[in-house]
Every structure is written in structure tokens, then in C-alpha cells.
């Protein structure tokens, strides 16, 4: 019997930017810029075509990959967007995909019996999309009314428009090199794999978008302060985003937004060590297949991890039954489902770090045609499996009242069985749960001691990840942290406050005494900054005609200057009155046009 696979409910082959998410990210990062030295941008914004090409050039520069083909920029109305979405969803392969996914979500009571996943998706995306990149037509489209809303929100969230377009042009750059459409289609075999792929694609575009907001400042998401903000995104308050998606089931809204946040933290973990070249290797050599790798890179991705393979016992299904679909919810899916009313951060459920794999079987009985859910999961150790069993039992008890439910555990294996048909006898679920625990699991799980050892707050550790890095941590890196690999070196004292030394293919960073003495150079963001307390400060960004810089001696009391003028004791001694060049000559890689 051939099984049909369930996939991710929120992907149809296009990479889309969600308006409320961008407001959250921009506002959060803008908060971190308070107090930083800035170089005023002397260039005007110019017309819209010129500005969009400036955004494109920023994405190319920051990502470090050339844009090898034309990318059209087109205006699109919400009606046109909705029509394009409907056409896409009505393709035969997508209709089958939506049918399987809708069945899964109804079994988990994410959707009500009368809900249409297709209609929910169309409504949500037509309201929330400000811009998107279409890998099939190789274009960036912006949605009239939603872009207008973005501009209004930009009054309180500076940089909104820039973030949106640089983010989407980053997708265009990566599609030209890694074929995002092919990777997305390959990930549609199951929910967890698609969420992992989405996290990778959206995560690094978030970093590029955020770096573009720092064009006037001596920092980006790779510098210590910016990296700390990115790490905090995983625990960001999502209440405002939930309000923007009012009427959308939290699971669906979370599966749209969390990949941006969790993916940014994962991508920055790789990028800070190996530069953007490290993320290029991720695309080319080892795409994350599970959200566990995204959420716990040290525990999963940087190690030789393969999710558990479940081989059901022959007694689990009878000849009169049909397994109509299979899937894997994964760590992120579990977090979203267990957090019934929120947007489910995995950080709120520490036991999820022990996930080794899960498999969902939707079984249709021959007599009544009712569908039962059989959910198997395997965990690093018994205590983590027991915690998951407890949370699943409570979730089913609260959300599936009056329905037969059975949650059982044997060692590290947990089986949850339920039916959305109240006529199904409880004994049938109990019996199937017992048979589910007879399944054979193929997995390279750590021993109990190794699993516990990884969680102990040891004062001294020597983390080593084959092919990536090795090092030493004292008190989790709070006292001292030394790490090195083939392409990077890092040394911190007191979490970098007393001393921070970092060197990667893209940048170098040295600072002491809470950053009072600092030197930073970044090739992708194209800036150099150094500061000697009280004595002097220098900040340069750009090169050639676009170069801008500022310097000062003794806080500017002794002397200061920019690329246009210099002063000594506040007395002008040099001034360049030449008109600053407009935007550099534009290449033909972008062909903006207005859709009529």
C-alpha cells in the first residue's frame, strides 16, 4: 500500500514576507541601536525604482553572492495576490497536498470540522503579505494596501520598508545560487522537514534584512550585541503578531512566524563562526531535515544526528484498515500544538530538547471510515519521555473531552492514540496504544549518562563538533570561552565584557573593558570601527565614491571630521563643497515595472 505524505500547510512555492513579523523584528532591533554612533546618510532616497535597486544592491553586498539574473519588481493588488494564490492552490498536486494536510490538522483539532485550510490560507496571506519573492517567475512583488500599512507602521518602526525589500531580494540572490523552489518542493514530504527548510531560508534573509538596518552604525547581527538580540528573538513576545492574525488558528500563525525567529538564531549560530560561507555550505552540503537541528544546533545539527525511524509492529494495523497519511510533527510542531493559545516557543518546554524523532499515522477503519491518530515519539531518556507523556495527556484531556484517548509509555518510547469519533470505543484506543509500543525503533540515541552529562551545569567543558569546532568553556562561557575551527577563532572573558576576540572569514572584532576599547572590521557590512576611550574614535563605511567616515579626538573637543569637512577646536580647517554623487550607476540585474 502506497502512503500519501502530509506536508506543510503554509507553503505553496513562494517565499512571503509577513507584515506583523517585520514590525516586530524592526522595532526590536531598532531598540538596540540607541546610543550607537551613526554616520548620516548624505544620499537622498531618490525615486522608487532607484530605491528598490539600492535595496537589491544591499542584499547582494550583505549576502556576499552575486545576483546572476534579472529580478522584476512588480506592484500587485490584494485581489491579484489572492487570485494568484488561488490558482496556485488549485493545481492538482496542491489540492491533494491540502486535502492530506487538512485531515491532519483536523485530527489534531487545529482546524474545526467545517474549516477549509485553503480558505484560511487565502484570507491570512491576502491580509498579511507586504511583499514576496516568487521563485517561479523570478520577481519581487509588493502588495499595494499592505505596503501602505507598512509605511504607516514605519512611523514607529524605522526601516520597515528597507527590511522588507532587502529580505526579499536576499531570497532572489539565494534562489539564483541554491534553487529555493527545488529545495522547498523536496521538503514537502513532511511537516517537520518543511518547517526546518523554511527556517533556514527565512532565517538568513532575516539576518540580511536586519544588517541592512545598520548601514549607519558600527554593528550588525554578527557583532556581540547584535548577536545577543538575535538570540533573544526566540523568546520574543508574540502577542502583537497574534492580534495581527486574529481569526487564524495559533498553530498556523505560529508556523508562519516562528521559522523567521528560530531560523535567524540558527543561521546566526553558523554565520558567526564560519561567516556567510558557512551558510553556503549548509545549503550545498547538509540541509537541516528537522526543526530539532534548527532549535538545538549544538545538540543536533553540529553532531551526526539522524531522526529515529519507526517500524510499526504488524499488530498495529489490521487488514480492514488503511494508513491514509503519515507525518512528523517535530520539535517546533510539538511546541506549537502544546501551546494551545500562543505561538509556541520551544524554550518554554525544556523536555523537547530530548526529541529523537516522531511519526504520525492517520488510520482509516474499514467499517465506519472514522480516522484514528497514532502518534509515536522517541526521546533521549526516560525522564524526558515521561515529561512529554504528561504534557500530551493534559493537552488531549483539555482539548478532546468526550473522545477516546490513550497515552502510554515504555521506556523512551511514547504512544498517543485518539479518535475524533466519539463512537469509537475506549478499548480500541487502549489496545492500539499497547500495540504501538511494540514498534521497532532504529535510532542512534545517546546513553542515559551521556544525555544527563550534556545537561549538567559543569564548571568546565570541552565541546567538540567534528568538522566544525573544538574549544573550552568555564561556567558555560560566562567566565571564559575559547573556540576555534578551520575558519574561525573566538576568545571571551566574562562573556566578552572584559575581553572579546573574534576572527572569521567575514570579520574581526577585538574589544576590552565593556567595549570601551574596540576595533571591528566587517567585509560584508563593509565597515571599520575603532575606539580608544577618551582619546579617539574612527568609523568608516563603504568605499570609493560611496565612502563615508567620521572621526574625533577627545570626544571632538580637540578635533573631529567627516569625508566632507574637518575641524580643530571647533574651527573649520577644511571643507569639501563638491556635490556628493548620486546613487552609483545601476546594473541591469533588476527590471522594476508597475503592474497595471
Concatenated DSSP letters of 473-487: EEGGGTSEEEEE-SS
Query: What integer is the mean pLDDT of 340-367?
Result: 86
- The cell for 436 is 504501538
Q: Using the predicted structure, report yes or no on whether residue 319 has a pLDDT greater than 80.
A: no
Query: What integer is the mean pLDDT of 493-522?
Result: 92
Task: Return the top range by mean pLDDT from 9-23, 28-42, 316-330, 530-544.
Answer: 530-544
| Maximum separation of any 2 CA atoms in the chain, in Å | 93
pLDDT band at 483 (very low <50, low <70, confident <90, very high): very high
Q: Using the predicted structure, report yes or no on whether residue 335 has a pLDDT greater than 80.
A: yes
pLDDT score at 93: 67
145 secondary structure, DSSP code = H
- The cell for 477 is 562561557
pLDDT score at 57: 93
- Sign, CA torsion 454/458/462/463: positive
Superfamily of domain covering 309-448: PknH-like extracellular domain (3.40.1000.70)
Q: What is the Cα–Cα distance from 515 to 533, expressed in whole angstroms?
A: 9
**Which stretch of 28-32, 273-277, 361-365, 542-546 has the lowest confidence by average pLDDT?**
28-32
Q: Using the predicted structure, report yes or no on whether residue 189 has a pLDDT greater than 90.
A: no
Q: Using the predicted structure, report yes or no on whether residue 536 has a pLDDT greater than 90.
A: yes
Write out pLDDT tens, residues 66-102: 998 889 888 888 788 888 778 877 877 677 777 777 8
pLDDT score at 86: 82
Give counts: helices (H), strands (E), the chain: 18, 26
**Which stretch of 35-39, 62-66, 577-581 has the lowest confidence by average pLDDT?**
577-581
Q: Using the predicted structure, report yes or no on whether residue 16 has a pLDDT greater than 60.
A: no
Q: What is the Cα–Cα distance from 409 to 437, expressed in whole angstroms?
A: 7
Are the C-beta atoms of residues 452 and 458 closer than 8 Å to each other?
no
Query: What integer is the mean pLDDT of 126-130?
Result: 72
Q: How far, in whole angstroms, is CA 369 from its chain's centroid?
A: 39
- Work out the percent of the chain whose per-residue pLDDT is above 90: 50
- Please provide residue 320's backbone torsions phi and psi, each rounded to the nearest 5 degrees: -85, 0
Q: What is the Cα–Cα distance from 556 to 349, expressed in whole angstroms?
A: 51
- The cell for 424 is 469509537
Domain ranges within the chain, ordered by starting residue = 15-35+43-300, 309-448, 465-575
More confident residue, 124 or 213: 213
pLDDT band at 576 (very low <50, low <70, confident <90, very high): confident
More confident residue, 412 or 94: 412
> What average pLDDT does the chain have?
84
Query: What integer is the mean pLDDT of 203-221?
Result: 92
Write out pLDDT tens, residues 261-288: 999 999 999 999 999 999 999 999 999 9
Q: Facing residues of 409 across strands?
A: 414
Q: Using the predicted structure, report yes or no on whether residue 146 has a pLDDT greater than 60.
A: no
Q: Which of 310, 316, 319, 308 is nearest to 417 (CA)?
A: 316
Q: Which residues contact 16 (CB under 8 A, 6 or more apart)?
A: 125, 129, 132
Model pTM? 0.89
Q: Using the predicted structure, report yes or no on whether residue 29 has a pLDDT greater than 80.
A: no
Q: Does an H or E element contain 518, and which?
A: strand 517-522
pLDDT score at 8: 38
Write out pLDDT tens, residues 151-185: 555 445 567 888 989 999 999 999 999 999 889 88
Query: What integer is the mean pLDDT of 209-222?
Result: 91
Q: Using the predicted structure, report yes or no on whether residue 545 has a pLDDT greater than 60.
A: yes
Helix 19-32 / helix 160-178 crossing angle, nearest 10 deg: 110
pLDDT score at 246: 67
Q: Which of 297, 62, 340 is nearest to 196 (CA)?
A: 297
Tell me how crowded residue 425 is: count the other CB atoms within 10 A of its CB: 10
- Using CA atoms, how far residue 65 sits from 216, 217, 528, in Å, is 22, 23, 21
pLDDT score at 120: 83
Tell me how crowded residue 245 is: count the other CB atoms within 10 A of its CB: 22
Write out pLDDT tens, residues 234-264: 666 566 666 666 677 888 888 888 999 999 9
Query: What integer is the mean pLDDT of 454-466?
Result: 91
pLDDT score at 1: 36
Q: Which of 220, 204, 215, 193 is nearest to 168 (CA)?
A: 204
- Work out the percent of the chain whose per-residue pLDDT is above 70: 84
Amino acid at each position: 500500500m502506497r502512503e500519501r505524505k502530509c506536508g506543510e500547510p503554509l507553503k505553496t512555492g513562494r517565499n512571503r514576507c509577513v507584515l506583523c513579523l517585520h514590525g516586530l523584528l524592526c522595532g526590536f532591533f531598532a531598540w538596540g541601536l540607541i546610543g550607537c554612533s551613526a554616520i548620516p546618510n548624505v544620499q537622498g532616497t531618490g525615486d522608487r525604482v532607484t530605491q528598490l535597486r539600492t535595496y537589491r544592491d544591499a542584499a547582494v553586498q550583505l549576502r556576499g553572492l552575486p545576483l546572476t539574473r534579472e529580478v522584476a519588481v512588480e506592484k500587485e493588488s490584494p485581489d491579484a495576490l489572492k487570485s494568484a494564490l488561488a490558482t496556485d492552490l488549485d493545481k492538482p498536486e496542491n489540492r491533494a497536498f491540502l486535502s492530506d494536510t487538512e485531515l491532519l490538522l483536523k485530527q489534531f483539532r487545529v482546524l474545526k470540522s467545517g474549516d477549509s485550510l485553503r480558505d484560511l490560507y487565502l484570507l491570512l496571506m491576502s491580509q498579511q503579505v507586504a511583499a514576496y519573492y516568487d521563485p517561479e517567475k523570478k520577481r519581487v512583488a509588493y502588495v499595494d494596501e499592505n505596503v501602505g500599512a507598512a509605511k504607516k507602521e514605519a512611523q514607529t518602526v524605522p526601516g520597515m520598508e528597507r527590511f522588507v525589500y532587502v529580505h526579499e531580494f536576499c531570497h532572489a540572490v539565494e534562489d539564483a545560487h541554491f534553487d529555493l523552489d527545488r529545495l522547498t518542493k523536496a521538503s514537502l514530504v513532511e511537516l517537520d522537514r518543511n518547517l526546518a527548510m523554511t527556517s533556514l531560508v527565512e532565517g538568513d534573509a532575516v539576518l540580511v534584512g536586519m544588517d541592512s538596518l545598520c548601514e549607519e552604525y558600527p554593528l550588525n547581527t554578527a557583532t556581540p550585541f547584535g548577536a545577543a538580540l538575535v538570540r533573544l528573538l526566540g523568546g520574543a513576545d508574540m502577542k502583537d503578531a497574534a492580534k495581527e492574525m486574529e481569526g487564524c488558528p495559533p498553530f498556523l500563525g505560529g508556523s508562519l512566524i516562528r521559522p523567521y525567529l528560530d531560523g535567524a538564531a540558527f543561521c546566526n549560530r553558523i554565520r558567526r563562526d564560519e561567516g556567510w560561507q558557512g551558510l553556503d555550505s549548509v545549503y550545498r552540503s547538509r540541509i537541516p531535515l528537522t526543526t530539532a537541528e534548527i532549535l538545538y544546533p549544538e545538540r543536533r545539527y553540529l553532531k551526526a544526528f539522524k531522526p529515529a525511524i519507526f517500524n510499526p509492529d504488524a499488530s498495529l494495523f489490521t487488514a480492514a484498515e488503511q494508513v491514509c497519511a503519515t507525518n512528523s510533527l517535530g520539535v517546533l510542531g510539538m511546541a506549537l500544538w502544546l501551546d494551545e493559545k500562543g505561538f509556541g516557543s520551544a524554550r518554554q518546554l525544556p523536555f523537547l530538547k530530548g526529541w529523537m524523532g516522531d511519526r504520525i499515522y492517520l488510520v482509516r477503519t474499514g467499517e465506519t471510515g472514522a480516522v484514528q491518530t497514532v502518534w509515536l515519539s522517541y526521546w533521549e531518556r526516560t525522564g524526558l519521555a515521561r515529561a512529554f507523556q504528561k504534557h500530551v495527556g493534559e493537552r488531549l484531556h483539555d482539548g478532546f473531552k468526550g473522545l477516546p484517548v490513550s497515552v502510554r509509555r515504555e521506556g523512551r518510547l511514547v504512544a498517543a492514540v485518539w479518535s475524533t469519533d466519539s463512537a469509537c470505543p475506549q478499548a480500541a484506543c487502549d489496545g492500539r496504544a499497547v500495540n504501538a509500543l511494540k514498534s521497532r525503533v532504529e535510532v542512534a540515541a545517546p546513553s542515559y549518562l551521556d544525555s544527563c552529562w550534556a545537561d549538567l551545569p559543569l564548571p568546565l567543558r570541552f565541546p567538540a563538533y567534528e568538522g566544525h569546532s573544538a574549544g573550552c568553556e568555564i561556567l558555560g562561557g560566562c567566565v571564559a570561552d575559547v573556540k576555534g575551527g578551520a575558519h574561525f577563532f573566538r576568545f571571551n572573558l566574562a562573556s566578552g565584557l572584559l575581553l572579546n576576540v573574534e576572527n572569521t572569514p567575514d570579520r574581526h572584532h577585538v574589544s576590552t573593558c565593556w567595549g570601551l576599547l574596540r576595533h571591528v572590521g566587517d567585509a560584508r557590512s563593509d565597515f571599520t570601527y575603532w575606539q580608544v576611550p577618551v582619546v579617539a574614535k574612527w568609523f568608516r563605511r563603504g568605499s570609493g565614491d560611496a565612502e563615508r567616515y567620521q572621526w574625533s579626538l577627545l570626544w571632538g573637543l580637540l578635533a573631529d571630521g567627516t569625508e566632507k569637512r574637518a575641524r580643530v577646536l571647533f574651527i573649520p580647517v577644511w571643507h569639501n563643497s563638491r556635490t556628493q554623487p548620486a546613487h552609483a550607476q545601476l546594473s541591469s540585474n533588476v527590471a522594476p515595472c508597475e503592474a497595471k
